[in-house]
Amino acid sequence: MAVTILIKGGRVIDPASKRDEIGDVWIVDGKIAASGHAPQRTIEARDQWVVPGLIDLHVHLREPGHEAKETIASGCAAAVAGGFTSVACMANSGQPLDSAMAIRYVLDRAREAGSARVFPIGAVTKGLRGEQLAEIGLMAKAGAKAFSDDGVPIVNSEIMRRALEYAAMFGSCIVSHCEDPDLTRGALINEGRVATELGLRGWPSVAEASMAARDVMLARWTGGRVHIAHVSARETVEVIRAAKRNGVRVTAEAAPHHVTLTEERLREYDSRFKMNPPLRTAEDVESVLAALADGTIDCIASDHAPHTTEEKEQELAACPNGVVGLETTLGVVLTDLVTNGKLSATRAVEAMTVNPARILGVPYGTLAVGAPGDITVIDPARKWTVDPAKFRSKGRSTPWAGRTLKGAAAVTIVEGRIVHDV
């Protein structure tokens, strides 16, 4: 049950209402209120940040079908532990989310789990096969907040065109996993110096940038809205920057690993650094980070992609792409980007709250009076060491295992319910 909560004396950062000041925040009847009385719960937030509940718009929850990797309940538990009050989940579970029934299934399981909000992303094509459009309209009516075949690219431009047009009728965007598969077949890591030295086949940046260029052109042509997932390359940033300048309805996200780590980490063939798109060069990292700082890239999204330990412990060529991120994203962003001044606190919060909310078209990500009472209280000074054995997620593979981070979610509140409190 929602109780009256007073969060006292914290640094309130709400980019949606351009607020950054010391103050109190009230939640009454599950909503943000200007004031209240007789709080049942008072949270002392001195030296802490009080921000809208964090939103991660790129998460793989794996259910239905791959429950050994993650379930909706385990993924939601990981989300709230990491400070996320909402996650959008991708359609590439074991049973692709390509029907209204599948969308309803995810929403039901999320309701049962009762912690983070889950916004299902429906598949663009039936079975994620890239051949026939899925029932976008029916899925939108059932509660899908965006559409994507993420995990695999949509190669057929006619399908992408129709998908953009169709989704626009429901106010939704297409989340594009940009990859030209003819350019990446057999590739394990970035095409570049490390791949050459190790004798591995590389994944060239142009495979991402060329598809992003096609997608922004199709968005421009159709008037539809495209969101470029996990931007990893400098050339992709240039495509998005130019498209935004031309008024194209394009948004983009970057994953924490793509703004902090480089291909150099693959020298030991360590599968904890294998994801798709791959880690790239220092110039790419610099460029993606600059784009995040200047708003060319709108959001930070984890691309939380859990796999079983058995799967990830295979040799580099055999192990699947993907690392978990829900429980490390906030700490990594604070430690590696905000504390050292690469990204302002306001920009970081904006990229994890109001921006993803707007892209998904949901009324969260703000502390405006009357908004849903979703709040994350962040302790920016808390030091902790990443121990995958302690994750709520079933996925254990992370580039940051053993790393000491500074900054963590102290309290996570969804609709006035405290779902995480340390």
Which DSSP string do the residues of 379-409 spell out, in sequence order?
A: EEEEEEE--GGG-SSS----TTTT-EEEEEE
From CA 420, how far away is CA 414, in angstroms rounded?
9
Name which of Zn ion, ligand DOR, none residue 272 binds, using a CB cut-off of 5 to 8 Å depending on partner kind.
none
The minimum distance between CB 180 and ligand DOR, in angstroms, equals 14
Cα 359 to Cα 214, 223, 237: the distances in Å are: 20, 15, 18
Decide: 74 and 394 in contact? Cβ < 8 Å: yes
Q: Which of 177, 304, 312, 342 binds Zn ion (CB under 5 A)?
A: 177
The minimum distance between CB 413 and ligand DOR, in angstroms, equals 29
Q: Which of 150, 284, 336, 379 binds Zn ion (CB under 5 A)?
A: 150
Name which of Zn ion, ligand DOR, none residue 308 binds, using a CB cut-off of 5 to 8 Å depending on partner kind.
none
- Comparing CB distances to ligand DOR, the nearer of 25 and 187 is 187
Q: Which of 299, 305, 332, 375 binds ligand DOR (CB under 6 A)?
A: 305
Name which of Zn ion, ligand DOR, none residue 322 binds, using a CB cut-off of 5 to 8 Å depending on partner kind.
ligand DOR
105-144 residues near Zn ion, rule: CB under 5 A: none
- Comparing CB distances to ligand DOR, the nearer of 191 and 415 is 191
Catalytic residue among 303, 336, 374, 379: 303
From CA 103, how far away is CA 385, in angstroms rounded?
36
Tokens 């504390």 correspond to 339
Stated length of the chain: 422
Name which of Zn ion, ligand DOR, none residue 305 binds, using a CB cut-off of 5 to 8 Å depending on partner kind.
ligand DOR
Instruction: Let me know if 303 is a catalytic residue.
Output: yes
- Comparing CB distances to ligand DOR, the nearer of 96 and 322 is 322
Q: Lay out the site mask for ligand DOR across 173-212 (x = CB under 6 A, - = otherwise).
A: ----x-----------------------------------
- Comparing CB distances to Zn ion, the nearer of 77 and 305 is 305
Name which of ligand DOR, Zn ion, none residue 92 binds, using a CB cut-off of 5 to 8 Å depending on partner kind.
ligand DOR
HEC assignment per residue over 335-384? HHHHCCCCCCHHHHHHHHCHHHHHHHCCCCCCCCCCCECCEEEEEEEEEE
Q: Which of 10, 30, 151, 356 binds ligand DOR (CB under 6 A)?
A: 151
Which parts of 1-138 are beta strand (E)?
Answer: 5-14, 19-28, 31-33, 41-44, 49-52, 54-59, 84-89, 117-122
Decide: 54 and 352 in contact? Cβ < 8 Å: yes
Q: Which of 92, 251, 281, 353 binds ligand DOR (CB under 6 A)?
A: 92
Contact segment (CB under 5 A) with Zn ion among 64-72, 147-155, 324-332, 407-415 equals 147-155
Show the tokens assigned to 396: 């254990």
Tokens 């059932």 correspond to 142
- If you count DSSP H runs as helices and E runs as strands, how many of each does the chain have, helices first? 13, 18
The minimum distance between CB 306 and ligand DOR, in angstroms, equals 8
Name the residue number minimizing CB distance to ligand DOR: 322
Q: Tell me if 321 contacts ligand DOR by CB under 6 A.
A: yes
Q: Tell me if 227 contacts ligand DOR by CB under 6 A.
A: no
Decide: 13 and 50 in contact? Cβ < 8 Å: yes
From CA 315, how far away is CA 133, in angstroms rounded?
36
Question: What pairs with residue 254 in β-bridges?
Answer: 300
- Give residues in contact with Zn ion (CB under 5 A): 150, 177
- Which residues contact ligand DOR (rule: CB under 6 A)? 60, 92, 150-151, 177, 275-276, 305, 320-322
Active site residues: 303
